[in-house]
């Protein structure tokens, strides 16, 4: 069965330090992975998707099929990066595609 694991509930770093939010998945098909973010008092929103291979707000994520991972990275954390980050796996079930979310990691960037 498909599953998304985010091992860290909380990650605290200082401003300017590198950040890596871990995400591992299990899925028998070809994975489509996303990172969603929820800033304080805001809605859950898409941060980036692996298929776009893009950098958003300085964040990147590389899909590693061998390690079944999709870790989110940023070289220099900013205070405004503090938020809840969810890794999500898209799979096809029924007549539509669905998302499975991890439990989320709270990133706290200290000044």
Partner 1 sequence: EADIYQTPRYLVIGTGKKITLECSQTMGHDKMYWYQQDPGMELHLIHYSYGVNSTEKGDLSSESTVSRIRTEHFPLTLESARPSHTSQYLCASSETGGSYNEQFFGPGTRLTVL
CB of 22 to partner 1, least distance (A): 15
Contacts of 96 (CB under 8 A, 6+ apart): none
Q: Whole-number minimum distance, CB 102 to partner 1, in Å? A: 6
Check if the beta carbon of residue 89 is closer than 8 Å to that of residue 31: yes
Q: Are residues 20 and 107 in contact, defined by beta-carbon separation less than 8 angstroms?
A: no
Q: Tell me how far, at minimum, the Cβ of 50 lies from partner 1, in Å.
A: 10
99 binds partner 1 (CB under 8 A): yes
Among 15, 32, 56, 69, binds partner 1 (CB under 8 A): 32
């Amino acid at each position: 069965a498909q599953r998304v694991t985010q091992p860290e509930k909380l990650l605290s770093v200082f401003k300017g330090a590198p950040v890596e939010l871990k995400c591992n998945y299990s899925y028998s098909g070809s994975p489509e992975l996303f990172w969603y973010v929820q800033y304080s008092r805001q809605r859950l929103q898409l941060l980036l998707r692996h298929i776009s291979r893009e950098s958003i707000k300085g964040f990147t994520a590389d899909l590693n099929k061998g390690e079944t991972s999709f870790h989110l990275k940023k070289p220099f954390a900013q205070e405004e990066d503090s938020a809840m980050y969810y890794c999500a796996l898209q799979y096809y079930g029924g007549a539509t595609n669905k998302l499975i979310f991890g439990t989320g990691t709270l990133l706290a960037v200290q000044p």
